[in-house]
Amino acid sequence: MKPLTRPNPHLTRLLLIGAAFLTVTLALILMQPSGDALATAPQEPASPQSPDDMSVTRADTGLIGLLPARDTAQDTPVDEITASVLASLSGSTAPKAAAPAPESADTLRNMTAGVLASLTGPTPPKAAPAAANMQDLVSQALRQGQSDAYIDALLNEAAASGQIAVPGALRTDAGRVDTATLLAALVRKSSPDTAPAPSFEANSQGVEVRVVQRAGETKRYNFYTVQSGDSLGAIANRFYGDAALFTAIFEANRQFLSSPDRIRAGQRLSIPEVTSG
């Protein structure tokens, strides 16, 4: 099927161009995987196992590990590699020869606590032995002379991780622990004489007093609009001087409140009179 005439010059040219194109394409394809620019530039995917301080030479990195020893590996003296391995592993692998020495009971206890925490999920039974009780946690922090802000952070963290149970009345509308009220309650408990007088008349924000006179009898109705950051305990503390009396407010507003921790900013609560000494 050879053409009888001289080959078509257009076809020859086309063929030449095609061949050239193909050569270039093939060359590019073949070069691509080993192209250093490509290899180093775009992504250096997660290899968190590579500490920066390792003295690994370029020759080493080019060589994917586990191959039988090659000459390039000798660029870095074995001693140095060993030293850097040992340095990076010191205290972490406890080589057989030195096994019993570095493991003090304390490290083991801490590690065991960590293990137990990760094995048993979010509420480690043994890992946080001291923090079982909220009041203990607070009094401990107070004894250490910690600031209110610190105690606040501590309590919220402990509550968030489920280490302590926080009474609903001490939950603010935002779900945080109302540390200020808790502290006030503790102070009041420890020194009842110096407790702040009930600021019933306090013309602070959200307080509303209605006086109704009916048949010779004067009745006062007190209302309070929940402010951002309030807890039921805080409100009780403000009106009665005692956070523990939150139940009176809770009972009086049962129809709006499903539980003491379910107050919302903007809610209007009726504040009953309490007859306490």
From the list 9-17, 185-193, 232-240, 269-277, the region that binds other proteins by CB under 8 A is 9-17
Query: Cβ distance 141 to 150 under 8 Å?
Result: yes
Residue (130 or 149) nearer to other proteins, CB: 130
Candidates 2, 6, 9, 97: give the one binding other proteins (CB under 8 A): 97
Q: Within 22-41, which residues bind other proteins (CB under 8 A)?
A: 22, 25, 28-29, 32-35, 38-39
* Residue 11 in the binding site for other proteins (CB under 8 A): yes
Output 22 or 202, the one with its CB closest to other proteins: 22
189 sits near other proteins (criterion: CB under 8 A): no
Q: Which of residues 46-85 bind other proteins (CB under 8 A)?
A: 46-51, 54, 56, 60-70, 73, 78, 81-82, 85
The nearest distance, CB 74 to other proteins, in angstroms, is 9
Three-state secondary structure string covering the chain: CCCCCCCCHHHHHHHHHHHHHHHHHHHHHHHHHHCHHHHHCCCCCCCCCCCCCCCCCHHHHHCCCCCCCCHHHHHCCHHHHHHHHHHHHCCCCCCHHHCCCCCCHHHHHHHHHHHHHHHHCCCCCCCCHHHCCHHHHHHHHHHCCCCHHHHHHHHHHHHHCCCCCCCHHHEECCCCECHHHHHHHHHHHHCHHHCCCCCCCCCCCCEEEEEEEECCEEEEEEEEECCCCCEHHHHHHHHHCCHHHHHHHHHHCCCCCCCCCCCCCCCEEEECCCCCC
For other proteins, the closer of residues 105 and 215 by Cβ is: 105
| Minimum distance from residue 45 beta carbon to other proteins (Å) | 5
Q: Does 160 bind other proteins (CB under 8 A)?
A: no
- Closer to other proteins by Cβ: residue 64 or 212: 64
Output phi, psi for 149, to 5 deg: -60, -40
Farthest-apart Cα atoms in the chain, separation: 131
Least distance CB 186 / other proteins (angstroms):
31
| Bridge partners (DSSP) listed for residue 231 | 172
* 122/277 with CB nearer other proteins: 122
Residue count at the site for other proteins (CB under 8 A)? 67
The partner residues of 214 in beta bridges, in order of sequence, read: 217
Point out which residues pair with 223 in neighbouring strands: 208, 270
Binding mask 101-140 for other proteins (x = CB under 8 A): --x-x--xx-xx-xxx-xxxx----x--------------
Q: Which two tokens stand for residue 118?
A: 């990760």
| Distance in Å, CB of 89 to other proteins, minimum | 8
- For 264, the token pair is 């919302």
Q: Which is nearer to other proteins, 39 or 174 (CB)?
A: 39
Q: Which spans of this chain sit near other proteins (rule: CB under 8 A)?
A: 11, 14-15, 18, 21-22, 25, 28-29, 32-35, 38-39, 42-51, 54, 56, 60-70, 73, 78, 81-82, 85-86, 88, 91-97, 100, 103, 105, 108-109, 111-112, 114-116, 118-121, 126
